[in-house]
Amino acid sequence: MSKPIIGIAGNQLIHAVEAFHGNQISYTPQGFVTAVQQAGGLPWIIPIGNPDTAADYISQIDKLLLAGGQDVTPYFYGEEPHPKLEETNRNRDEFELALIEEAIKQSKPVFAVCRGMQLLNVALEGTLYQDLSLYSEWKVKHGQQPTSPEFPTHSIYTEDNSILNRLFGSTYQVNSYHHQAIRRLSTQLTATAHSTDGLVEGVESKNPEQRLLGVQWHPELNFHKDTTEFELFHFFVNQL
């Protein structure tokens, strides 16, 4: 039986550090690669490219994984940049939006992490808080630095009969590295996990034929310590 091919949308290091002699780098965090491999999948890193090539990339894979990274360019949800907006990469946004569109068109499952979940929401006509300071109910520390990611820092509560509820139970502790969040949830998604201050921490598709799953935290940074986090990858690779 062949292993499922998991396309991981890659990021680009534009301001390369001295070790790379100024060369730009295409990459994804090693945690995604290792977790997919250990779950029985074959990870393929998809470099940022022309959106016109998205259909060809998606046709070559079984499932799509969207990783974390830069802020989503607010143009794509109809806003001007807020003063607290951080680094964006419009080329990455445009390419990954095309990947999402093609994955849905070709009925390929999508697992989206942190920025990936936010971009999935934008792709389906939702909006974001450009900074948590714009969220009036913000009460929880969602950027856990300097605490190591292997130590979860805040609680989430999952919805009954959801994928996340089956995997994590009704409440769970997660790590957290974000200053943006979902504001208006796409009408095509349902929120299946929240933090105690009400921010969306997990999403799934309302349409069972669109196999979409997103989380706001970073399981790729903790799956080697937390077997439940690994089960999230195992579910994605083998069942989603």
The helix/strand/coil state of 42 is strand
Note whether 185 and 121 are within 8 A (CB).
yes
Residue 114 designated active-site: yes
Q: Which residue has the tokens 């690994």?
A: 230
Other beta carbons within 10 angstroms of residue 80's beta carbon come to 8
Q: What is the SS3 string spanning 155-196? A: EEEECCCCHHHHHHCCEEEECCECCCEECCCCCCEEEEEEEC
The helix/strand/coil state of 145 is coil
Q: Which of 210, 168, 163 is nearest to 191 (CA)?
A: 163
Note whether 21 and 65 are within 8 A (CB).
no
Out of 142, 178, 218, 234, the active site residue is 218
Out of 96, 102, 114, 178, the active site residue is 114
Alpha carbon 112 to chain centroid, angstroms: 3
Out of 96, 102, 201, 220, the active site residue is 220
Write out the catalytic residue numbers: 114, 218, 220
